[in-house]
Structure 1
Amino acid sequence: MATTWLGPKGRATALASMADEELDVLVVGGGIVGAGIALDAVSRGLSTGLIEARDFASGTSSRSSKLIHGGLRYLEQLDFELVQEALQERGLLLTRLAPHLVRPVPFLFPFQHHWERFYIGAGVALYDTLAMTSRNNRGLPSHRHLTRSGAMRVFPALKRSALAGAIQYWDCQVDDARYVTTVLRTAAGLGARIASRVQAVEFLREGEHVVGATAADLESGERLRIRARQVVNAAGVWTDDIQEMVGGRGQIHVSASKGVHLVVPRDRIQASSGMILQTEKSVLFVIPWGRHWIIGTTDTPWDLDKENPAASRADIDYVLDHVNQVLRTPLGRDDVEGVYAGLRPLLSGESEETSKLSREHTVAHPVPGLVLIAGGKYTTYRVMAKDAVDAVAHGLGGGVPESVTDRLPLVGADGYSALYNQRHRLARDSGLHVSRISHLLRRFGSAVHDVLDLIKEREDLGRPLAGSDDYLRAEVVYAVEAEGARHLEDVLSRRTRITFETWDRGIAAAEEAAELMAEPLGWDRAQVEREVEYYRKGIEAERAAQEQDTDQEADAIQHGAPEIVPDVHADRS
């Protein structure tokens, strides 16, 4: 088995290997769907490469509601098949594939009229029934009905007048960006070649056939030709851009919908459960997240900068206004410590029939050698990946084994439960507090030993990171050496979530984090200072954008922030 470490040496080796030999499959896109495809393909015995123009999970896959769920609201649309499929995947991730990363979370569903108990109760009962009829759904409690007083005991922050009663049910949550990295590391361990900051700029063609891609290494400026028998476009909201490289509009059309989430400290809302609220458009979640709450989301069309969608003042006010309708002590803008905005890739089309596919996924083979996949939801990424590789297998002429990812635990899953039971012993042996060990286990699972080994080698890595006590210095080094982080933003925004978990959005942690990254990445002092400056300017632009009233005004400011590694087609002043 190859190494699961995605550090600088692993990236260089992967690029050299992709340039030297023809692959069976080249995946373009390093979000959750691309990562899932790479794992599915390599675990079927196909030689596999994956390139991502930015950082892994830097788009939609790090900016979600961080839920692994069936989609309770899709029952209202009578989409039972999608819900059951997602619930089956939820159980699989929780019990077998990633028990260290996916964990249960309760949600309160309040209602204002007594007659709603029957309507909502029937929906939640069906939700639980669909879960129980699926495989691998042990471990989550069934829903329960609560009186108004019972609901207030679970969620004291609610206005008493805001509800007549409630139902509590269970779903799961995940650190979305960390999950993507873990899938990619698992694929690398099986031999997949994986590299970030590598942009596909042109497809290689032999007649009508796509036979690979010309790619730009955005770090070095070098071009490489990657030959592959099949190329899979898993670019999410960039799907249409990639399709333009083969000419025409293509077979799949994707629209971007912006979702904005707010992060507030845990003490601002007194509750022991998450909450789901119905709005005039969809739903609003209040989600427990460590020492914080995540509140969201919005759902508005977006046709501006896809790389860094901007949250406006109107977005923030929308979320606050809706959650404040039920809170006894309203939240204000001063309570918001973090904001993040992401884009959902929704399928669109010229007919009503294709438009209704918005949360489902589709796979197309527009020209020989090229597979396109788009749509879907985070929870069902593994099913999407399987369908894409099935299309690859068809393009290869058959003879490819069936998918095995439903029984392939991710890096850190094996042995996790036993190690968690042994966390007090691990704390004594390492000299760390047991709460630190629990934190590390829930981020790395059984790979925690790798992080603890770093601390054994360098005692200073066992100290908290300045400006963000929740994370250890060792986690920054490990993010570079094992998880493929190449720039400061990669660590502060995705390997950790410091960017939205701290009041200053990571500014106080930036200098020390960059200095820790310098040695494994070979940075000199000038590069350390450059990384910190670019990060600071990005945060300043983000904050300024959030003071603007419209998407256009917010985008104009945030789009003007300089990129540490601009892509080939970027047109920035």
Structure 2
Amino acid sequence: MLSAITRPKTRQFMGEYEFDLLIIGGGITGAGIALDAVTRGLSVALIDMQDFAGGTSSRSTKLIHGGLRYLKQLEVKMVAETGREREIVYQNAMHVTKPERMLLPFYQSGTFGKYTTSAGLLVYDWLAGVKKEERRAMLTAEETIEMEPLVKRQGLLGGGHYVEYRTDDARLTIEIVKKAVQKGALCLNYARAEKFLYDNGKVIGVVAQDIHQGGTFPIHAKHTVNATGPWVDDVRNEGDISHSKKLRLTKGVHIVVDRSVFPLQQAVYFDAPDGRMIFAIPRDAKAYIGTTDTFYDSDPQTPFATEEDIRYLLGTIKNMFPKVVVNRQHVESTWAGIRPLIYEEGKDPSEISRKDEIWEAESGLISIAGGKLTGYRKMAETVVDVVVSKYPRHHYGPCVTEHLPLSGGDFGGIEKYQAFLASKTREAALFGLAEEEGKRLSAFYGTNVDMVFTYAHALQGDDFDLPTVVKAEIFYAVHHEMALTPSDFLIRRKGDLYFNIAFVECLKEPITAFMGRLLDYDDDEKRRHLHELDMHIARAKGDVRQ
């Protein structure tokens, strides 16, 4: 299991064996590589200096999409590949990936006109192999307004209607890591690669520092992959003296408002006044809007939304939804993510390609950067192909992840998913839970929900001033998802910091106390973890000195 309780044992094993592959970076790219490699028969270790998905992979637009706007930049291959990958990601993880109908209104002076929208969506459907029931439909202006009454009416000519997929990026990453561990990989969060180990000039592993427990330990591996996202160049500086390619970091910001203020009923993809394309997406009781795209040169570990970023996004709402009154005080939370893009001379942030690239140094270090959330599985396949090519022919099997359900996602096919939810919703009552709780938990944890139900039943009547279901989710996150801190749980296991920040502020202290009992925090650790969570809350609310 990916357990915080047995984490010391995982660290011990990592230091005692030589692995076929060591992956530095526990975001979605590194997680995907770990899963692909271990299912081909390689022995795999993965480390991350933060929590899993602690960087870019918890701060995206949270969409599994093919990138319709990249057709304008003639990146046909990327659109085709990521478009096809959308369905694969959905089929393998239906509990963290949902179809999202998207409305693309077009105007007299907009980026997309009637014919370019129709042709673009038609090509998109064809390139992505979109199934018949999800193919694009063209709408009149009246039909567009009926679908989303809040959109600007002046100059409206009509709209295109198509399907993307909404996800929880951090949970998707966690489910990939859990599946890799289930298949035999060893994965460790809060373990930083301090320096490379060499033999005759070739990388044979790293010395890792345990950020959580303290101390260092070696990890030996025949091959090492650098999948550290915004930190790829930092890692390459020691293990790769070739600098023919380098990264250019850009920042993307999203804001969250309550749907009582912004009653969005339909996801909309629309033109900002400066020509950027912006998403406005409903998610339960909230709506989130993004993203910005600006160059970023500060610490990639602590990006945050500036007041300028927030004003920009509020301006896009005012422009596209003129009847909606959303001001700064309505912004409940924000997040900022860093895109590790391949540097292209003279290009603006939005013009830089999102394609991925792989470099191999003379030292043997393999680095991957760029790419999109949607394409993680295909990127992983390409990287592992490079690794296995170094072994005798047919030593390892082919990629098998295309039809491999992730942890919690083995429903036996899409046609059985709704039946699963209905059954588990009713079953929740047997464990003392309300049907609504059962429905939410089943949709969130998928086929892992039985363990959460069991923990909820066992923890009823306990103290800590926490709802039983919250204690059950914490217990599951600690024992099965290596959650070590309240921030791990509330941000990357649950996403509550962004979409239910009032809950976080209300229960942060009892949650810390309960995790402290499970993980044996001393008083200093409790204070430190609460302070860390308070800092995340401040950043999310924009209460950071600019």
* 8 A contact 1:365–1:391 mirrored in 2: no
* 8 A contact 2:226–2:366 mirrored in 1: yes
1:217 matched to 2:210? The reply is: yes
Distance change (3 Å), C-alpha of 1:381 and 1:541? closer
Q: SS of the counterpart of 1:161?
A: coil
* 8 A contact 1:75–1:123 mirrored in 2: yes
> By how many angstroms is 1:172 displaced?
0.3
Partner of 1:437: 438
Q: SS of the counterpart of 1:506?
A: helix
Query: Which residue identity is paired with 2:525?
Result: Q
Partner of 2:376: 381
* 8 A contact 2:292–2:309 mirrored in 1: yes
Measured in 1, the distance between the counterparts of 2:458 and 2:540 equals 38
* 8 A contact 1:140–1:171 mirrored in 2: no
Q: SS of the counterpart of 2:354?
A: coil
Query: Which residue identity is paired with 1:522?
Result: D
Measured in 1, the distance between the counterparts of 2:210 and 2:245 equals 27
1:160 matched to 2:153? The reply is: yes
Q: SS of the counterpart of 2:279?
A: strand
What are the residue-to-residue correspondences of 1:308-387 with 2, within 5 Å?
308-327=302-321, 328-349=323-344, 358-387=353-382
What are the residue-to-residue correspondences of 1:473-488 with 2, within 5 Å?
473-488=471-486
Match 1:18 to one of 14, 27, 35:
14
* 8 A contact 2:81–2:128 mirrored in 1: no
Query: Which residue identity is paired with 2:498?
Result: F
Query: How many residues get paired?
Result: 534
Distance change (3 Å), C-alpha of 1:462 and 1:149? farther
Measured in 1, the distance between the counterparts of 2:522 and 2:108 equals 64
Partner of 1:419: 420
Partner of 1:51: 47
Measured in 2, the distance between the counterparts of 1:503 and 1:93 equals 28
What are the residue-to-residue correspondences of 1:274-289 with 2, within 5 Å?
274-279=267-272, 280-289=274-283
Measured in 2, the distance between the counterparts of 1:33 and 1:544 equals 29
* 8 A contact 2:15–2:218 mirrored in 1: yes
* 8 A contact 1:461–1:472 mirrored in 2: no
Measured in 1, the distance between the counterparts of 2:67 and 2:120 equals 11
Q: SS of the counterpart of 2:506?
A: helix
> By how many angstroms is 1:15 displaced?
1.2
Measured in 1, the distance between the counterparts of 2:465 and 2:118 equals 45
Distance change (3 Å), C-alpha of 1:65 and 1:541? closer
Measured in 2, the distance between the counterparts of 1:162 and 1:447 equals 49
* 8 A contact 2:196–2:204 mirrored in 1: yes
| Per-residue deviation, residues 116-173 of structure 1 (Å, max 9, x unmatched) | 21111111122122233xxxx5485222222222222211222332623212111101
Q: SS of the counterpart of 1:8?
A: coil
Partner of 2:65: 69
Measured in 2, the distance between the counterparts of 1:536 and 1:380 equals 34
Match 1:173 to one of 147, 160, 166:
166
Match 1:500 to one of 475, 498, 501:
498
Match 1:269 to one of 258, 262, 270:
262
Measured in 1, the distance between the counterparts of 2:342 and 2:204 equals 26
What are the residue-to-residue correspondences of 1:88-107 with 2, within 5 Å?
88-95=84-91, 97-107=92-102
* 8 A contact 1:210–1:367 mirrored in 2: no
* 8 A contact 1:276–1:283 mirrored in 2: yes
Measured in 2, the distance between the counterparts of 1:87 and 1:58 equals 26
* 8 A contact 2:264–2:282 mirrored in 1: no
> By how many angstroms is 1:14 displaced?
1.8
Partner of 2:119: 122
Partner of 2:182: 189
Query: Which residue identity is paired with 1:433?
Result: A
Query: Which residue identity is paired with 1:119?
Result: T
CA RMSD of aligned residues (A): 2.4
Percent identical: 34
1:301 matched to 2:298? The reply is: no
Measured in 2, the distance between the counterparts of 1:307 and 1:41 equals 27
Distance change (3 Å), C-alpha of 1:388 and 1:462? farther
Measured in 2, the distance between the counterparts of 1:477 and 1:324 equals 43
* 8 A contact 2:354–2:371 mirrored in 1: yes
Measured in 2, the distance between the counterparts of 1:255 and 1:59 equals 16
| Per-residue deviation, residues 459-493 of structure 1 (Å, max 9, x unmatched) | 14799957xx9x73321221111111111211111
Distance change (3 Å), C-alpha of 1:394 and 1:250? farther
Partner of 1:510: 508
* 8 A contact 2:425–2:442 mirrored in 1: no
Q: SS of the counterpart of 2:252?
A: strand
Structure 1 unmatched runs, 5+? 549-553, 555-573
What are the residue-to-residue correspondences of 1:526-537 with 2, within 5 Å?
526-537=524-535
* 8 A contact 1:424–1:434 mirrored in 2: yes
Deviates more, 1:440-449 or 1:242-251: 242-251
Distance change (3 Å), C-alpha of 1:410 and 1:541? closer
Distance change (3 Å), C-alpha of 1:198 and 1:515? same
Structure 2 unmatched runs, 5+? none
Deviates more, 1:431-440 or 1:343-352: 343-352
What are the residue-to-residue correspondences of 1:525-564 with 2, within 5 Å?
525-540=523-538, 543=541, 554=546
| Per-residue deviation, residues 42-95 of structure 1 (Å, max 9, x unmatched) | 111000000000011010000000000111101111222111111111111122
* 8 A contact 1:250–1:366 mirrored in 2: no
Moved over 6 A (4+): 461-464
Deviates more, 1:222-231 or 1:395-404: 395-404
Q: TM-score, normalised by structure 2?
A: 0.92
Measured in 2, the distance between the counterparts of 1:520 and 1:182 equals 22
Measured in 2, the distance between the counterparts of 1:26 and 1:305 equals 25
Partner of 2:35: 39
Query: Which residue identity is paired with 2:116?
Result: Y
Partner of 2:82: 86
Q: TM-score, normalised by structure 1?
A: 0.88
Distance change (3 Å), C-alpha of 1:198 and 1:14? same
Measured in 1, the distance between the counterparts of 2:525 and 2:363 equals 44
Query: Which residue identity is paired with 1:411?
Result: S
> By how many angstroms is 1:230 displaced?
0.1
| Per-residue deviation, residues 291-344 of structure 1 (Å, max 9, x unmatched) | 111100000000101101121110000111012102112311111111000001
